[in-house]
Amino acid sequence: MSDRVLPDPRWSAWRVVVGFGLVSLAVDLVADGAKSIQGPLLASLGASALVVGIVTGGAEAAGYGLRLVSGPLVDRTKRYWGFAIGGYALTALCIPLLAFTPWIGPAGVVVAATLIVVERVGKAIRSPAKTVLLAHAATAVGGGRGFGVHKLLDQVGAFSGPLIVAAVIAISGAIWPAFAILAIPGLFALAFLLWMRRRVPDPGAFSAPLLRSAQPQAAVSSSRAIPRSLYLFSLSAAFTSFGLVGFGVMSFHLTDAGLVDVAAVPLVYAVGMAAAAVAAVITGRAYDTFGGAVLLVVPVMVAAIPVLTLSSTFAWVIVGVMVWGAATGVHDSTVKALVADLVPVARRGTAYGVFAVFQGAGTFAGAVVAGALYPDAGTLSIITIPAQIASLVLLIVVVRARRRGVNRKTPPIRRENEARAGHNETEQS
């Protein structure tokens, strides 16, 4: 690690966590507001369930898989803010443009699919950079708690976006105005992010003092390859993601089976996002106490999702969406704390990129299989359950190895984080 002097942040670590949470709140209001109605939008443009699965699954795969490029690139260039701002800008641009797709005839479905994929490419560009920036502040206050609070704010946006979309559709009687109005929170997110950059030019200042004290070990570790435990954990995540039936297929099912009107579909999505917020906070706090063992419940939850979410009974679909939301919330928040614990700070961008590739592959495969087998939830469950068993076994191996300290290549990041949190508390007192 270099001896360069990092500029003092004008905000505390907690304030940075909350700041990134507010940015994510606004952007997820845009992204998840749009995601809640993508299935019906594509269907209205002439897409089948399989096409919806391919487009939405392919978009998520791009959002995850391209992080293998953006992750190492941000580690190498250190331009974390630039990548974060650029990625957020793509989301703020692509989603409002979906408002024009119903007006361009047969090309509408192609343009809509392209915009949906490019928006997720924006997430691939920003996510490793944003996560590294956030990790510096989050681990300074306790990784599980920091990521949990960030995810809570994130999910407030993911919950509010669908409600706004539902209200606009109900008032206007059309889908396209809902996409247009999402330009407002997108512009707010970009303005707030630019302001944050001025106040906290380098969040690495939060971890610099402790990392300097652990410099010899960290320097050796950072030069080594990503540890085997990270790959095992990533493979476990891929199996889990395979069973997380995408909401694109769920929303298609809700309207195709006549369970709800189009205007009510975003409300169902909002229920899932509310469950995600609660689960993220609970497991985030539990992670700081019990470690990665709290994640063992996720494959068990995911195993039940296909048969519930593709049920012909609305009540069971709601239960399934809640389980799906809770599993998604944990998978998008607490797992990042474990990734941060498994690798050295200098390799986090790369690690998040590697991890995301596995997630993306599992997500794409799961969405395509769900779309191809729709509406046969029974067969889908027969395929999904073995994948979750494999995920659980791999996760147990990772958790046990972490507890025993088998992976000698990884520095004691968690102890560093705990010491950093104690140091911050001492300074505040």
Residue among 334, 340, 234 nearest 294 (CA):
334
What pLDDT does residue 164 have? 94
Indicate whether 4 belongs to any domain.
no
For residues 225-240, one letter each, b for 16 or more C-beta atoms within 10 angstroms of the residue's C-beta and e for the rest, the string is ebbebbbbbbbbbbbb
What pLDDT does residue 180 have? 95
Residue among 147, 151, 177, 26 nearest 88 (CA):
26
CA dihedral 379, 274, 86, 56 (to 10 degrees): 20
For 29-70, the DSSP string reads HHHHHHHTTHHHHHHHTT--HHHHHHHHHHHHHHHHHTHHHH
Indicate whether 2 belongs to any domain.
no
pLDDT, tens digit only, all 429 positions of the chain: 344 444 455 677 788 888 888 998 999 999 999 988 898 899 899 988 889 888 988 888 888 888 888 888 888 888 889 999 999 999 999 999 999 999 998 899 999 999 999 999 999 899 888 888 887 777 676 666 777 777 778 878 888 899 999 999 999 989 999 999 999 999 999 999 999 888 877 766 665 544 444 444 333 344 456 788 889 999 999 999 998 887 888 888 998 889 998 889 999 989 998 898 888 888 877 887 888 888 898 999 999 999 999 999 999 999 999 999 999 888 777 787 788 788 877 777 778 778 888 988 888 888 888 888 888 888 888 999 999 999 999 999 998 887 776 444 444 444 444 444 444 444 443
**Sign of the torsion angle spanned by Cα atoms 163, 167, 173, 176:** negative
What pLDDT does residue 385 have? 93
**Sign of the torsion angle spanned by Cα atoms 340, 345, 349, 350:** negative
Structural domain range at position 57 = 13-428
Number of H helices, E strands in the chain: 21, 0
3-class state of residue 289 by DSSP:
helix
DSSP 21: H
For 205-246, the DSSP string reads GGTHHHHHHTHHHHHHHHTSPPPHHHHHHHHHHHHHHHHS--
What pLDDT does residue 197 have? 87
Number of domains in the chain: 1
The Cα-based distances of 126 to 24, 109, 414 in angstroms read: 11, 26, 25
Indicate whether 63 belongs to any domain.
yes
What pLDDT does residue 206 have? 63
Indicate whether 8 belongs to any domain.
no
Q: Tally the C-alpha atoms within 13 A of residue 215's C-alpha that lie toward its C-beta.
A: 7
Indicate whether 401 belongs to any domain.
yes
Indicate whether 132 belongs to any domain.
yes
Task: Supply the CATH number for residue 236's domain.
Answer: 1.20.1250.20
Indicate whether 177 belongs to any domain.
yes
Indicate whether 125 belongs to any domain.
yes
What pLDDT does residue 223 have? 42
